Chains A and B, each alone.
Chain A
Amino acid sequence: MKVSMTVNGTAYEHDVEPRTLLVQHLRENMGLTGTHVGCDTSSCGACTIIVNGETVKSCTLLAVQSDGAEIKTIEGMATNGELHPIQESFREKHGLQCGFCTPGMVMSSWQLLERNPKPSEDEIRHAIEGNFCRCTGYHNIVKAVQDAATKI
């Protein structure tokens, strides 16, 4: 099936198998491997991206369901090589270790700060509850989001 979408400002059109997941489509057909598959069961949030302005776990969507969508992935966060303030805060506050969950964490944080520019610690923890970090990094991730809130 023909599927077209705009990802990080670039228009793509592909012929995909109907069963192709959006995350597979991004990773395998577009080569955007920054979006990770951690669990394949919509639990871990490593595949979180922005579809038409809203965070979505891209392993729960089929590529064909996203026909015509405007998508933003972790590769689209930095501008001309300069880190987005959220990315910068993750770096400064040591909000990552292995980095596998980081793209999803950054996207969920982005959505939170879009909706709530000055979140409380509880609100931050609630906003990232769909994203698992297995390096036990939540504490510094929360600090990173708090720091980013002061910059945006």
Chain B
Amino acid sequence: MGDLIGKSVKRVEDNRLLKGEGRYTDDFNMPNQTFAVYVRSPHAHANLVSVDISAAKAMDGVINVFTGKDIKDAGIVGSICGWQVDFKNGDTMKEPGHPILAVDKVRHVGDAVALVIAEDIGKAKDAAGAVEVNYKFWTQL
């Protein structure tokens, strides 16, 4: 260890990363693996009038399709802040909801509206394209 201090040390992982031999999560498959694709909002600010997943759900190879309402009804809360900091006066930090899938309203382009789980990525993408979303647009903020 003593002879490493103050020296430029070569990293042990670089050789495989430079040769394309890394193993990132997308580089390997697991038994019974399934694939998820999100249906995302093309609008910055809109109400979700309806999200129809029936056609997508009926497609070949589709395991399930979820909407924001499904997630909410299942009692799954949104992503939480991992580091709540209280105000000096003792008030708790005001944390807006961060739903995993949008409920009633989308708030940015790319906001996730539905989640498709299928046997392979192609089937998941096809089914995501078959989710019918009706938006009522609002002015962008």
Q: Which residues of A contact B (CB under 8 A)?
A: 17, 19, 27, 32-37, 73-75, 77-78, 83, 87, 90-92, 94, 96, 99-100, 102-103, 106
Chief secondary structure at chain B's binding surface: loop
Q: Which residues of A contact B28 (CB under 8 A)?
A: 33
When distances are taken between beta carbons in the complex, the residues of chain A under 8 Å from B78 are none
A99-B19 in contact (CB<8A): no
A34, B20: Cβ atoms under 8 Å?
yes
Specify which of A37, A73, A77, A99 is in contact with B22 (CB 8 Å cutoff): A99
Contact A102 B26 (CB under 8 A): no
Q: Are B24 and A96 in contact (CB under 8 A)?
A: no
Which residues of chain B come closer than 8 Å to A106, judged between CB atoms?
18
Check A96/B19 contact, CB under 8 A, given A17-B122, A36-B24.
no
B-side residues, CB < 8 A to A, are 8, 10-11, 13-15, 17-24, 26-28, 122
**Interface residues of A: mostly helix, strand, loop or mixed?**
loop
Which residue of chain A has the shortest Cβ distance to B28 in the bound complex?
A: A33
- Nearest CB in chain B: distance from A18 CB, A: 11
Contacting pair B17 A83 (CB below 8 A): no
User: Which residues of chain B have C-beta atoms less than 8 A from A92's C-beta?
Assistant: 10
A91 touches B20 (CB 8 A): no
Q: Is there contact, CB below 8 Å, between A91 and B14? A: yes
Known: A33-B27, A91-B10, A99-B13. A83 touches B18 (CB 8 A): yes
